[in-house]
Amino acid sequence: MRYRLNPFKMKVSAEGCSLLFTTSFLILISGLTVHSLSHSYDYSATTECLAEPHREHYGGGIIVNPGFDHNLEGWTVFGNGAIEERRSNEGNAFIVARNRTQPLDSFSQKIQLKKGMLYTFSAWLQLSEGSDTVSVVFKINGRELIRGGHVIAKHGCWTLMKGGLVANFTSPAEILFESKNPTVEIWADSVSLQPFTKEQWRSHQEESIERVRKSKVRFQVTHINETALEGATITTKQTKLDFPFGCGINNNILTNSEYQKWFLSRFKYTTFTNQMKWYSTEIVKGQENYTTPDAMMSLAKNNGISVRGHNIFWDDPKQQPQWVKSLSPEELRKAAAKRINSVASRYSGELIAWDVVNENLHFNFFEGNLGENASAAYYSTAHHLDPNTRMFLNEFNTIEYSGDVAASPTNYIKKIQQILQFPGSAGIPLAIGLQCHFASGQPNLAYMRAGLDLLGATGFPIWLTETSIDPQPHQEDYFDWILREGYAHPAVQGIIMFMGPVQAGFKKAPLADENFKNTPIGDVVDMLIREWGTGPHEAKADSRGIVDISLHHGDYDVIVTHPQKQISKTLNLSVRKGSPQQTIQVKMHA
């Protein structure tokens, strides 16, 4: 049996404990029973560490002996050392890898991967002492190692790993577990590997969108005498999408009227790709020039466009103004203080977000020169200069690439904790920025989903901030999957793409060609803009005069007509998340 006893709750706070990582998992296999996708989103994702693990997801899926109820059946030792079954004081059985001498010394099970299927993986992990990152690794064709997810396991409680992998081929594989510290034992329980078809995955995206992005509205159309008006037509056209879906822009928009027309006809949210960055506003030391970003802000304001501030600092040493790179630590401290006060004060109250220290997990220019709390101090300063704007940690590979441990959701949350622990940081409205630059190959949607699950459990808002995809065959199909995955996840509160027309310099994966004609990937974006609510959409009243419609959250213009009776009425409607089903009484005059 499995018990849940006295869970140790790990919460993100200024006094927070160790934070644990869950991912999700995507693999492709042959000849297997495919189960419902109803639980593939983990809406209850948590950073809890439990005294006893839960039962395995999907009954273990294709894993043999997933809960170790049959001793070690199906499991073998990999590398050096030994494996054994142990039992907790409550009688729960689990597997142990002991006497390890190498990171990959562990327990393993052989599986068969098959092209065209998606698989989710999960397991509960614990260590014999201390804490360390444990990764799940897939050994493909006897030689290639693919990391599918990571968790910070510790002694004394069980933590859930979820992970993901996409296999573009049919192949045998072996599941392994890795800890860089070979002196500790790895313990595991409730291991699961479950296949899904792409059709099932898409179906669940659609179900989630229906649940978290839409609400039902009932229109009751009658004559003034309250008799039903059968055949009345309800036409809805969205005037404002509640979910921010936007696109980055650059300085070309100031001088290219066709670029303006292309952008303004589609989007109400944006980020300036480079124009607010330090290397753009102070090319020469002491000579600040905000002419370009000021003009772009004016254009945005005049057209009702909300702007994300990108960025105050960039932690990559290569992305500093040239003159900054040779400064002494004390000179850098003074220059950086001038920069943050200048840019944050200038645009205070005008932005919906600030990327305060960009790519703060991969790089440490400011920490290396000014001390380990440099970035945390900048978050505190930015908040005090612009107190009502969300402060984002903006990072790449956190949900795009399972092999990048440095930017994993676990380490992302650790960085948030470090920021919150800094004196004066209490109350900062932090938010999670995930760049989502996807490289070639099928996007690992299960890893993406699981990372969003864990990060969403912190309670901080999540935005996909620079979404893009590299040129490749099936590019438009893959981008469609990525955007739907973000839109479908309940923790995501906005999506900005870093793509655009060729004339604006977006040549890597343009949305429009030299003549502003849509590319195939541009067609995908326009299709989703229409699908997510712009309309117009029509529906006819039944014999009771009733029309039931499920609408994306936002504001609508509604026109009610009856062609035969030549009557019409115009309404304004607001549909919001969490509101109960609305019933709109429409009484028509003959």
Q: Is 170 helix (H, G, I), strand (E, B) or coil?
A: coil
340 residue type, one letter: I
Handedness of CA 253, 259, 260, 266 (dihedral sign): negative
Separation CA 227–CA 589 (nearest Å): 12
User: How are beta strands 537-540 and 546-552 bridged, if at all?
Assistant: unpaired
Q: Is 364 helix (H, G, I), strand (E, B) or coil?
A: coil
Q: Give residues with Cβ within 8 angstroms of 332, minimum separation 6.
A: 324, 366, 369, 370
Identified catalytic residue from 56, 400, 466, 476: 466
Cis peptide before 311 (omega within 30 of 0): yes
User: How are beta strands 106-113 and 76-78 bridged, if at all?
Assistant: antiparallel
Residue 466 is a catalytic residue = yes
User: What single string gives the DSSP state of each residue in 538-551?
Assistant: EEE--TTSEEEEEE
Identified catalytic residue from 359, 400, 476, 485: 359
Other Cβ atoms closer than 10 A to 538: 13
Sheet of 546-552, strands arranged across: 546-552, 214-223, 582-588
Tokens standing for residue 344: 């944050």
Q: Is 210 helix (H, G, I), strand (E, B) or coil?
A: helix
Separation CA 11–CA 29 (nearest Å): 37
Contact 115, 167 (CB under 8 A): yes
Separation CA 496–CA 486 (nearest Å): 11
User: How are beta strands 171-179 and 82-87 bridged, if at all?
Assistant: unpaired
Q: What are the helix (H) ranges across 149-270?
A: 198-212, 257-264
Contact 396, 435 (CB under 8 A): yes
Q: Give residues with Cβ within 8 angstroms of 27, minimum separation 6.
A: 111, 113, 117, 118, 119, 121, 138, 148, 164, 165, 166, 167, 173, 193, 195
Separation CA 12–CA 413 (nearest Å): 8
Residue 330 is a catalytic residue = no
Tokens standing for residue 113: 């991967």
Tokens standing for residue 558: 């509604």
Tokens 């804490």, residue located: 131
> Considering only CA atoms, which of 312, 431, 297, 315 is closest in space to residue 382?
312
Q: Which residues are catalytic?
A: 359, 466
